[in-house]
């Protein structure tokens, strides 16, 4: 005889076949109903059809396994016995609900079907038995609607149309004003709608209803909504959905009934208070639907004191049992309390931190568990200004959430105008609104409270720069039309002028017209406590990408253990510097270039002194100039004239140089290490500035650990030339100073070839830092600034599971990294018998999933923008606590 697995699990009456830890098999809802039942919490009896059935259903080409049927029959019988009613009985019918429930919550995947078991005959009996014909008829018409629209594909609007029509005929506004007779008529009309759409009458056999509803739940697993939800939330590896069939309880039988939803602690701030709403004489959906305003749960104490006390006991019991904050649903029928659901409650980052820390203090969980409980990404909530939740401004457009936090400011359309505006009105907030930004815009960008662009993706210039500064930014908001000449921005049919207020929420991508109040972040004591526990657990160090002393100091406050990337190019903008820089680019010979560079050197040195001071005692990786030179020259006629005037040279000369420097593919052009190879004096100036700044800071009694980083190498020869030149110069300076300054020279690994020959590269490099922005760009052959036109389709069509500029493409780019780390370490060991320090400084260094990958391949550190430092610290801790196991992050 063939054996088959158990397909149906019963619960109710203080017993259950399943347990909370069987989520994979019973789904979250089913597993928790079983658990509640077995710990003596009142739950209406029912049963769960396993996710394996869903899996087998699809394997067999949408056919249920044979043995499900007798198991369901037997389980239904048990429910009938416990409730003392029969399914389909005409005088006193058992009614059931049918709900989906996968291992991970997938809100809105499928609507619930309530009141199953009602038929023309049963509705009469149900009305008599409850002495409430109106309730019976209302339940029946809801069933026809829910069953029709959810299980049989009838448009819900068709039912709504009948309801609205009848209310008009009866001259009433609210559903509740319809009498029993009216509802009888409505049932008739609903049945007609059903028959017309489905081609057969509404089923009068309750078993027929039940099986159709069960199949509908399984079918919904592969419905567009569910498939899309799983894609967006990156949910993979689930068997399917379970189906929960449960005896109905009614919260709308009168004033001694009601229904509510609650959290065992406040999900917004984590406070240990009972938080929720209820409605007297109502059904579950009424609380969420917003038709009536629910009462705060504390008032239930006055209205139903006994039920309230019972609920408070259950709250305690559930938290003690699950050792976690719960989100619960309950119904009171004629004074008797039933729990319909419990699950881990969703919460803000602030709340997550407080709850995790307090649960440790209460002795319910240990520190390591607390560290694993908080989603690193949710820490954003503690670190950035947020929109005041009381604000009434509604979003009018949405772009890509590029850098979190909220900001309101006056619309300014160019970076130059932002600089001018800030000079005149230093206290007024600026929102820089542009099609896109470029390195020329950084001065204006820095002055803005937030940045909004109509094009670009998550790795666009605006996004990367804003993230680096922790400045709110929304990119790719196609709904805004910018007319620079007219000084207007059109959005959602409204035309705003320069100087009008606009607000962005970089956490969600929302754009709002007008000024919205923001609230400042508060780094609470609990947050520091949790971070302390995370630091004890992690192996990866966390550094920051910072280009200014202020950012460096901020990052240090957030726990950065050094700078992993200081991009020096931002230091060449700003009024006086850009003039010297342009002089350098326009110089005819080495001498001219050297003279211009000499003017830049003091600025560079000063910047480095500031950064070294801020990072006293911690390593600072400074990268030599990376971007192509043409980015420092204006491309429009007016700009070129201004530069010619500034430098006292003919306009034609500027034009010629711009043309000469023009590149078809600047990202693959004359940038990175190629610049100092052709113009060694550029590299020399930077090395001199770095080392002499280090000498000065050391002299002043501080500890400096400079790391000179050479960008964009593809061959070991490039690195060797530049390294030897840098060392020679640095050693001369140090020797002359009489100070003992230690420094390292290393390289970025951001060209696939460099990763492939990592063993040789490591012979010349004291450290590696993976520049995964460029590495991703060059491995895929995607221009990082131009992915917007196709990335959406790629993700939708599942060509890629995630945007590889956001989260490391483990399968492809990951191989290069893994190989690079392994071969690099081997090469260094073989030649110098030394450990090669390896880190990452691409945007991925602040992405929790990528941090886990970096931990796995054995990097020494990750580096990310200041505001992501705590996120990376927590992600690194979770990676090392999970070691081998899975990281169960709440989605
Ligand atoms: C990188 O390429 O990953 C990197 C950090 O450098 P940039 O983004 O400045 O090119
Ligand atoms: Mg790079």
The dihedral over CA atoms of 795, 799, 803, 809, expressed in degrees to the nearest 10, equals 160
Q: Which ligand 1 atom lies nearest to the CA of residue 565?
A: 5
Is there a contact between 412 and 394 (Cβ–Cβ < 8 Å)? no
Where does 765-868 have alpha helices with state H?
772-780, 788-796, 813-832, 848-856
Kindly state if the Cβ of 556 falls inside 6 Å of ligand 1: no
DSSP letter string, 279-342: EES--HHHHHHTSSPPEEGGGHHHH-HHHHHHHHHHHHHHHHHHSS-EEEEEEEETTEEEEEEE
Kindly state if the Cβ of 626 falls inside 6 Å of ligand 1: yes
Dist CA 357 CA 381 (whole Å): 16
Residue whose tokens read 């390593």: 619
Is there a contact between 102 and 238 (Cβ–Cβ < 8 Å)? yes
Kindly state if the Cβ of 783 falls inside 6 Å of ligand 1: no
To test the pocket of ligand 1, the residue of 711, 747, 751, 808 to mutate (highest count of ligand atoms within 8 Å of its CB) is: 711
Active site amino acids: 461, 841
3 state SS for 478-508: CCCEEECCCCEEEECCEEEECCCEEEEECCC
Dist CA 539 CA 534 (whole Å): 10
Residue whose tokens read 């939740």: 389
pLDDT at 177: 87
Q: Which ligand 1 atom lies nearest to the CA of residue 774?
A: 2
CA distances (Å), origin 559, targets 242, 307, 554, 562, 871: 44, 48, 9, 9, 10
Nearest CA owner, ligand 1 atom 10: 774
Residue 48: its H or E element: strand 46-49
CA distances (Å), origin 69, targets 5, 93, 239: 13, 21, 20
Kindly state if the Cβ of 750 falls inside 6 Å of ligand 1: yes
Cα maximum dimension of the chain? 103
Burial 108-137 (b: 16+ CB within 10 A, else e): ebbbebbbbbbbeebbbbbbeebebbbbbb
Dist CA 372 CA 366 (whole Å): 10
Kindly state if the Cβ of 862 falls inside 6 Å of ligand 1: no
Ligand closest in space to the Cα of 545: 1
Residue 245: its H or E element: strand 242-247
Kindly state if the Cβ of 842 falls inside 6 Å of ligand 1: yes
Dist CA 264 CA 273 (whole Å): 7
Ligand closest in space to the Cα of 813: 1
Ligand closest in space to the Cα of 712: 2
Ligand 1 centroid distance, CA of 346 (Å): 35
Kindly state if the Cβ of 774 falls inside 6 Å of ligand 1: yes
List of the chain residues with pLDDT < 50: 1-2, 290, 890-891
Dist CA 477 CA 485 (whole Å): 20
Kindly state if the Cβ of 773 falls inside 6 Å of ligand 1: yes
Kindly state if the Cβ of 564 falls inside 6 Å of ligand 1: no
Of 325, 327, 324, 329, which is closest to residue 339 (Cα–Cα)? 329
Query: CA 15, 17, 23 angle in degrees (round to 5)?
Result: 115
DSSP, collapsed to helix, strand or coil, labels residue 426 as: coil
Q: Which ligand 1 atom lies nearest to the CA of residue 773?
A: 3
Q: Which ligand 1 atom lies nearest to the CA of residue 841?
A: 5
To test the pocket of ligand 1, the residue of 750, 782, 820, 844 to mutate (highest count of ligand atoms within 8 Å of its CB) is: 750
Ligand 1 centroid distance, CA of 640 (Å): 29
Supply the pTM of this predicted model: 0.80
Where does 170-304 have alpha helices with state H?
180-198, 206-220, 224-232, 284-289, 300-303
Nearest CA owner, ligand 1 atom 4: 771
> Could you report how far apart the first and last alpha carbons of the chain are, in Å?
42
Query: CA 565, 571, 576 angle in degrees (round to 5)?
Result: 175
Query: CA 848, 854, 860 angle in degrees (round to 5)?
Result: 120
Where does 544-630 have alpha helices with state H?
549-557, 575-586, 590-614
CB neighbour class for 617 (10 Å; exposed up to 12, middle 13-18, buried from 19): exposed
To test the pocket of ligand 1, the residue of 457, 545, 773 to mutate (highest count of ligand atoms within 8 Å of its CB) is: 773
Burial 198-211 (b: 16+ CB within 10 A, else e): eeeebbeebbebbb
């Amino acid at each position: 005889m063939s054996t088959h697995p158990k397909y149906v699990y019963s619960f109710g009456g203080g017993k259950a076949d399943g347990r909370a830890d069987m989520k994979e098999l019973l789904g979250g809802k089913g597993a928790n109903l079983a658990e509640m039942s077995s710990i003596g919490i009142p739950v209406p009896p029912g049963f769960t059809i396993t996710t394996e059935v869903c899996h087998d259903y699809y394997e067999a080409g949408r056919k249920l396994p044979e043995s499900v049927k007798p198991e369901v029959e037997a389980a239904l019988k048990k429910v009938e016995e416990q409730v003392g009613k029969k399914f389909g009985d005409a005088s006193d019918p058992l009614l059931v609900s049918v709900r989906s429930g996968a291992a991970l919550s997938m809100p809105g995947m499928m609507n619930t079907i309530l009141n199953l078991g009602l038929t023309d005959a049963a509705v009469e009996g149900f009305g008599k038995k409850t002495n409430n014909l109106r309730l019976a008829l209302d339940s029946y018409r809801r069933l026809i609607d829910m069953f029709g629209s959810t299980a049989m594909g009838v448009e819900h609007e068709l039912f709504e149309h009948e309801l609205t029509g009848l209310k008009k005929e009866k001259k009433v506004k609210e559903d509740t004003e319809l009498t029993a007779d009216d509802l009888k008529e409505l049932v008739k009309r609903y049945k007609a709608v059903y028959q017309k759409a489905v081609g057969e009458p509404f089923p009068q056999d309750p078993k027929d209803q039940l099986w159709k509803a069960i199949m509908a739940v399984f079918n919904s697993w592969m419905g567009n909504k569910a498939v899309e939800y799983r894609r967006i939330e990156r949910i993979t590896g689930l068997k399917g959905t379970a189906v929960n069939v449960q005896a109905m309880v009614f919260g709308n039988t009168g004033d001694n009934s009601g229904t509510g939803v609650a959290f065992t602690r406040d999900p917004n701030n984590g406070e240990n208070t009972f938080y929720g709403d209820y409605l007297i004489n109502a059904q579950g959906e009424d609380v969420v639907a917003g038709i009536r305003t629910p009462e705060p749960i504390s008032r239930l104490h006055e209205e139903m004191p006994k039920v309230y006390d019972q609920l408070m006991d259950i709250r305690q019991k559930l938290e003690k049992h699950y050792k976690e904050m719960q989100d619960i649903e309950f119904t009171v029928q004629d004074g008797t309390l039933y729990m319909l659901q419990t699950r881990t409650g969703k919460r803000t980052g602030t709340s997550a931190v407080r709850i995790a820390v307090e649960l440790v203090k209460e002795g319910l969980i240990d520190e390591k568990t607390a560290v694993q409980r908080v989603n690193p990404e949710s820490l954003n909530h503690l670190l950035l200004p947020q929109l005041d939740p009381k604000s009434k401004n509604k979003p009018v457009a949405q772009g890509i959430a590029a850098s979190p936090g909220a900001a309101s400011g006056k619309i300014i359309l160019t970076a130059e105008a932002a600089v001018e505006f800030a000079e005149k009105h230093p206290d007024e907030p600026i929102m820089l609104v542009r099609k896109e930004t470029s390195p020329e815009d950084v001065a204006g960008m820095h002055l803005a409270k937030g940045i909004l662009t109509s094009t670009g993706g998550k790795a666009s210039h605006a996004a990367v720069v804003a993230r680096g500064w922790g400045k709110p930014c929304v990119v790719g908001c196609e709904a805004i039309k910018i007319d620079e000449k007219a000084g207007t921005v059109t959005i959602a049919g409204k035309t705003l002028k320069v100087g009008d207020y606009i607000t962005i929420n970089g956490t969600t991508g929302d754009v709002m017209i007008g000024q919205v109040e923001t609230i400042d972040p508060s780094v609470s004591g609990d947050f520091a406590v949790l971070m302390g526990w995370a630091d004890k657990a992690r192996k990866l160090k966390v550094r920051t990408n910072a280009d200014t002393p202020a950012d460096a100091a901020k990052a240090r406050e957030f726990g950065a253990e050094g700078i992993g990337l200081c991009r020096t190019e931002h230091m060449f903008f700003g009024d006086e510097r850009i003039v010297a820089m342009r002089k350098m680019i326009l110089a005819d010979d080495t001498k001219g270039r050297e003279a211009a560079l000499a003017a830049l050197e003091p600025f560079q040195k000063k910047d480095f002194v500031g950064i070294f001071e801020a990072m006293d005692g911690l390593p600072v990786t400074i990268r030599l100039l990376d971007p192509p030179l043409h980015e420092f020259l204006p491309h429009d006629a007016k700009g070129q004239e201004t530069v010619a005037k500034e430098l006292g040279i003919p306009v034609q000369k500027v034009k010629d140089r711009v043309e000469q420097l023009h590149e078809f593919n600047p990202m693959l052009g004359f940038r990175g290490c190629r610049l100092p190879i052709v113009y060694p004096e550029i590299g020399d100036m930077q090395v001199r500035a770095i080392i002499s700044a280090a000498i000065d800071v050391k002299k002043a009694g501080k500890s400096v650990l400079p790391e000179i980083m050479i960008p964009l190498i593809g061959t070991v020869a490039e690195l060797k030339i530049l390294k030897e030149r840098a060392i020679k110069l640095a050693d001369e300076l140090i020797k002359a100073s009489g100070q003992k300054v230690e420094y390292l020279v290393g390289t970025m690994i951001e060209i696939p070839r460099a990763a492939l020959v990592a063993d040789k590269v490591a012979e010349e490099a004291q450290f590696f830092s993976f520049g995964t922005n460029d590495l991703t760009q060059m491995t895929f052959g995607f221009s990082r600034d131009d992915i917007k036109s196709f990335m959406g389709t790629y993700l939708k069509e599942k060509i890629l599971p995630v945007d590889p500029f956001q989260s490391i493409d483990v399968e492809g780019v990951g191989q290069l990294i893994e190989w690079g780390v392994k071969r690099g370490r081997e090469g260094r060991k073989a030649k110098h018998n030394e450990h090669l320090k390896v880190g990452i400084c691409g945007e991925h260094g602040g992405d929790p999933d990528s941090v886990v990958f970096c931990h796995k391949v054995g990097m020494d550190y990750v580096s990310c923008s200041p505001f992501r430092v705590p996120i990376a610290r927590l992600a690194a801790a979770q990676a090392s606590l999970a070691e081998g196991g899975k990281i169960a992050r709440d989605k």
